[in-house]
Structure 1
Amino acid sequence: MNTDLPPKPDPQTGEPRPPAAPGHFNGRREPQPYDASKVPSGPSAALEWLYGTRKAGWWSAATIVVLIIVFLMLKSGLDWMLYWPMWLFIAAVGVAFWFLPRNTKMAAGADWVNAGGDVVHTYELVEVKTSGTPGSWELILKDQRGNVDRGNIADYQQNPLLWDLVFNGIRHSVAVGATIDPETYRVLKLDEYPNPPRSRRGDTGV
């Protein structure tokens, strides 16, 4: 891994912003308003956050329904469309995914992240690992204080600026000896050369 690491951002200002982290959702994200009831707390200012909304629920539900229909068409042609319990199943899955994303709560500061569990200090990690399968990887972070936090990588990457902050801390921790297995190293794309920094929240650039 490249040892020429970018600097740690200032806890209050978030400057300088970390380089863009590798990921699948690197487009510009519309910033969410700050809602103290939905933004997990940390030891310093939350610079980036993500929480589920009704709009996110609709997108998740529509996406999963389309994927199921495409899969069934590829596997069984059009015959399954005459089987009404299958439509009931698809509707039930869609409704479930409409609710689930609204429970997502994440926040990150310059040197911490909280994905709904413990506050983990990202520059003090002793273990970085993943579990799951492609498309649903769970990231598990453990710091020197024994705090452990878990979050879906796809959720982190919905807010690219939040993911940048977390990824920069992971890079620093791995560089100084945090435990990481080869599969997690590959999933996080830690061998990729860092991209230029992103623009700050609300700017027109990415």
Structure 2
Amino acid sequence: MNPDLPPKPDPQTGEPRPPAAPGHFNGLKEPQPYDANKVPSGPTAALEWLYGTRKSGWWSAATVVVLIIAFLTFKSGLDWVFAWPTWLFMAAAGVAFWFLPRNTKMAAGADWVNAGGDTIYTYELVEIGTSGTPGSWELILKDQRGNVDRGNIADYQQNPLLWDLVFNGIRHSVAAGATIDPETYRVLKLDEYPNPPRSRRGGIGV
């Protein structure tokens, strides 16, 4: 193990917690209760998890409206403000995203993450990439076993403690030689000095 990197947490206890990963967090204020029907399983205990709720629809709706406003302002200045069809379109888009099913389901253990598809072994990554634009970056992870996952970084970061676990594995994999392009390195803020570990209130899923 690289002595300059934080250690991998114990699979059962989750200790020691990895340092706080860099990022912008607008998600959970309190841990969600463990629900076996909503938390993806993995090879060891799930230490952190995230699943969609009706409340999370407000974030989706607000994000869509903000992105529409930013796009319209960039394209035509503030002229759109005086066009009532534009306001009607934004309202319809916001309502539509609020009513979309909350299908987000992800969980992370000491050395794995499952975002609703393949289980990715985060300390065995061989390729790390991103696609998309600011505000909607997609994280692409591929491990030594051939498992591939594509998930929105904002979804991971809704549970900062989950993101800490995934990010620590990414750091170890990069140090071990995983392929990562300069843009992904910048988006993930891998050059930022780690913060102290966060604390969690609540139990561990088994």
The answer to whether 1:46 aligns with 2:46 is yes
Residue 99 of structure 1: how far off its partner (Å): 3.6
2:163 maps to 163
The answer on whether the counterparts of 2:28 and 2:158 sit within 8 Å (CA) in structure 1 is: no
1:181 maps to 181
Change (3 A) 1:64 1:161: same
The answer to whether 1:89 aligns with 2:89 is yes
TM-score between the two structures when normalised by the length of structure 1: 0.87
Residue 193 of structure 1: how far off its partner (Å): 1.3
State the percentage of identical aligned residues. Answer: 88
Q: Distance in 1 between matches of 2:53 and 2:28?
A: 17
Residue 117 of structure 1: how far off its partner (Å): 1.3
Residue 107 of structure 1: how far off its partner (Å): 0.7
Residue 101 of structure 1: how far off its partner (Å): 7.0
The answer on whether the counterparts of 1:29 and 1:160 sit within 8 Å (CA) in structure 2 is: no
Q: One-letter code of the match for 1:155? A: D
TM-score between the two structures when normalised by the length of structure 2: 0.87
Residue 73 of structure 1: how far off its partner (Å): 6.3
Change (3 A) 1:195 1:129: same
The answer on whether the counterparts of 1:17 and 1:197 sit within 8 Å (CA) in structure 2 is: yes
Q: Distance in 1 between matches of 2:136 and 2:26?
A: 17
Q: One-letter code of the match for 1:32? A: Q
State the number of aligned residues.
Answer: 200
Q: What do you get for the CA RMSD once the two structures are aligned?
A: 2.3
User: Where do 1:12-51 residues align within 5 Å?
Assistant: 12-25=12-25, 29-51=29-51
Change (3 A) 1:184 1:95: same
1:148 maps to 148
Q: Distance in 2 between matches of 1:99 and 1:46?
A: 29
Runs of 4+ in 1 over 6 A off after TM superposition: none
Task: Identify unmatched segments of 5+ residues in structure 1.
Answer: none
Residue 65 of structure 1: how far off its partner (Å): 2.5
Task: Identify unmatched segments of 5+ residues in structure 2.
Answer: none
